[in-house]
Structure 1
């Protein structure tokens, strides 16, 4: 990645980087790029939710949404998101506000009750492992750590996880029970899984009869261009390959409407759906159907979701374009960085020279720019190369974002040139 420099040229660049950093540290900044939260302006797009359901308390099928029951969720909200998430309506559950909560529950239920096709509970087995494409989503890794599930890193490619590695590990090791996947505009690289990757995931041999793909389709509708990416239908591919129970599909409206008061979804085979419903019946008498009704009224249909997400894109796209423009201006041609240009999702991945990511994050924090901890994109917080930094551009305003990315570039130059001079 680095560019060869003469001693004099390097000395001059390092001196300028130190001056730039002193100036940056003297500004008294207080900026935060740690998490991919919607900005207040994005949340304002869903303000009408707060006035719904406007006295109405009956769903389309006559259900009184104020009362108990309805574990599968309201039909009208499931009909809207069946198309978005590529799950047949009858195999889709609508739940509370958090898809992460559904993933948590699926892990707990798999540990404590027998999955369809399983020989025993996971908790009764000597070792449980998950494949973790890297860089990946830190909250997936945190769930595995919470339950003592071993994490095995798998390299990401431009088409998804390295399928040669995945196929070998899944076929050879019966302790490998699952793989985490963010298939569309993945967190944090923005990769979209190719049709070939989806087909191989669906058809590959698995030593564990209860192997599951945790298909976290968090950014199914979160496009940043006027050419939305499309991915293959995993559930259909699994069924066609003779592995109908292999996929757990997750999604939510968290970054579509109100992040703290959305609707989460689970989709899978009929057997898996009945398994989850049976277990959930022990912990809940039903989801918040009032909130599901207000979402159905507000979004109306799948086309309504797409129109709403176009309004979201109008707010987000300029931020991502600004990040790309500043990184190119400040770091292009230096050999000190590479970065992704995502077509959707919520993150940009910045790759710095090996051994520099933690120091860049530390220097940025000292200057008042807080980033996601280096290593968060890898299991156990350990990036072996110490090279990956996740940028979350969504929450700050444009002026704050500009300051933050320019300041981050200063830190990259400083740390990179210091390393070369050492």
Structure 2
């Protein structure tokens, strides 16, 4: 195929012809009556099937110490499970808490506890501050933003670069005492796939902040979700912060939600001894212990950290072809037109698609009318407001591979048509 000319360089007649051709392609797409969904980064049924041996576990009712897991207690979780995740996350087992099925719940608890009671280092509960703000790298994870909005916390944004948040922009915002923290997805970030470099992590851990209780919410949701054999290791934020004299600054989170069963997994928090004790103190007012039966089930299923790694290689075999299909479809339709850019992640669950400014909402609308459901345009920005209306998050893991191929070919058609409409309108 001969190289395509950038769409913006076409003459009026050439652009009109291109638009007519894409309108014809789109009419054919609509006529197919598709019903495809790329809205959420969920594991597919085939991925969930990998963990169905959990249905036959645990084979015992007692942990390694002989404690009956069916009873109350053990607020910080089974030590056997904590040991597995301490190795996987490269932290000390004494820093780890294993909880229920949702790391998002743990994040909500940490911020809620700080709002109600203050965090270690706080002068007062955050609710008593005149205003509380959080730094949100964009594009980012919509549920982080929704959590903050629900608690009345203002959001200020910084660019999410290929090596992590823009540290100069973060440092400038952190000079405001109202700014209490930042979200960071350090490895295979949602949705860009970016990996926070050691240099950026060190800068975040050591930078001056006006708020003495500034927190890095280090959501390591995709630490083990590799798409290639080159398995990236996350920066050791807890050690970096301790070395910088800010041991309480980071709070790390992870879960098995995309490792075993999304609705019946286990979640993990890791933090300094002070922060861990603070969290458990307040958690103890709401719980007498997690589901230790499910935790023991996972311990038996994994065996050890290598068991988790082996399982994740089986996940990779299932989903890597879907990410390749996304790239193939976008290149086939859009390469050379200079109307879209997209990420090429080596891990995680998403592809970040940036289209021509002012067309993302139109792309999503066109796709919806053709039976292809996409995440709303701007979802990766606080309050869903992308000032350039160009960002779309693609989630290819849940559909079957042929559905991904079909859906992405359709999305590419919608991107090209929306761009042609925009350029034709001047």
Asked whether the two chains share a fold, i.e. TM above 0.5, the reply is yes
Please say if 1:108 is aligned against 2:115: no
The 8 Å contact of residues 270 and 276 in structure 2, kept in 1 or not, is answered as yes
Superposed counterparts of 1:249-268, under 5 Å: 249-268=252-271
- Report the secondary structure of 1:168's partner residue: helix
Supply the distance in 1 between the matched residues of 2:333 and 2:18 (Cα, whole angstroms).
13
In the comparison of the two structures, how many residue pairs are matched? 420
Superimposed CA distance per residue, residues 81-102 of structure 1 (whole angstroms, 9 cap, x where no aligned partner): 1122232101100000000000
Q: Which residue of 2 aligns with 1:347?
A: 350
Supply the distance in 1 between the matched residues of 2:151 and 2:339 (Cα, whole angstroms).
38
Q: Shift of the alpha carbon at 1:158?
A: 1.2
Supply the distance in 1 between the matched residues of 2:134 and 2:346 (Cα, whole angstroms).
28
The 8 Å contact of residues 218 and 250 in structure 1, kept in 2 or not, is answered as yes
Supply the distance in 2 between the matched residues of 1:289 and 1:148 (Cα, whole angstroms).
34
The 8 Å contact of residues 360 and 390 in structure 2, kept in 1 or not, is answered as yes
- Report the secondary structure of 1:291's partner residue: helix
- Report the secondary structure of 2:241's partner residue: helix
Q: 2:225 aligns with which of 222, 226, 247?
A: 222
Please say if 1:119 is aligned against 2:123: yes
The 8 Å contact of residues 129 and 149 in structure 1, kept in 2 or not, is answered as yes
- Report the secondary structure of 1:358's partner residue: helix
Superposed counterparts of 1:390-405, under 5 Å: 390-405=393-408
Q: Which residue of 2 aligns with 1:245?
A: 248
The 8 Å contact of residues 92 and 267 in structure 1, kept in 2 or not, is answered as yes
Supply the distance in 2 between the matched residues of 1:191 and 1:2 (Cα, whole angstroms).
28
Supply the distance in 2 between the matched residues of 1:362 and 1:404 (Cα, whole angstroms).
14
Please say if 1:324 is aligned against 2:327: yes
Please say if 1:305 is aligned against 2:347: no
Superposed counterparts of 1:21-420, under 5 Å: 21-54=26-59, 56-170=60-174, 172-420=175-423
The 8 Å contact of residues 8 and 423 in structure 2, kept in 1 or not, is answered as no
TM-score normalised over the length of structure 1 = 0.99
Q: Which residue of 2 aligns with 1:18?
A: 23
Q: Shift of the alpha carbon at 1:328?
A: 0.6
Supply the distance in 2 between the matched residues of 1:258 and 1:27 (Cα, whole angstroms).
33
Q: Shift of the alpha carbon at 1:2?
A: 5.3
Show structure 1 runs of 5+ residues with no match: none
Supply the distance in 2 between the matched residues of 1:91 and 1:63 (Cα, whole angstroms).
21
Supply the distance in 2 between the matched residues of 1:212 and 1:201 (Cα, whole angstroms).
10
TM-score normalised over the length of structure 2 = 0.98
The 8 Å contact of residues 134 and 153 in structure 1, kept in 2 or not, is answered as yes
The 8 Å contact of residues 39 and 373 in structure 2, kept in 1 or not, is answered as yes
The 8 Å contact of residues 222 and 313 in structure 1, kept in 2 or not, is answered as yes
Supply the distance in 2 between the matched residues of 1:17 and 1:30 (Cα, whole angstroms).
21
The 8 Å contact of residues 2 and 353 in structure 1, kept in 2 or not, is answered as no
Q: Shift of the alpha carbon at 1:225?
A: 0.2
- Report the secondary structure of 1:399's partner residue: helix
Q: Which residue of 1 aligns with 2:3?
A: none
Superimposed CA distance per residue, residues 142-190 of structure 1 (whole angstroms, 9 cap, x where no aligned partner): 00110010000111111101000001111x2000001001000000000
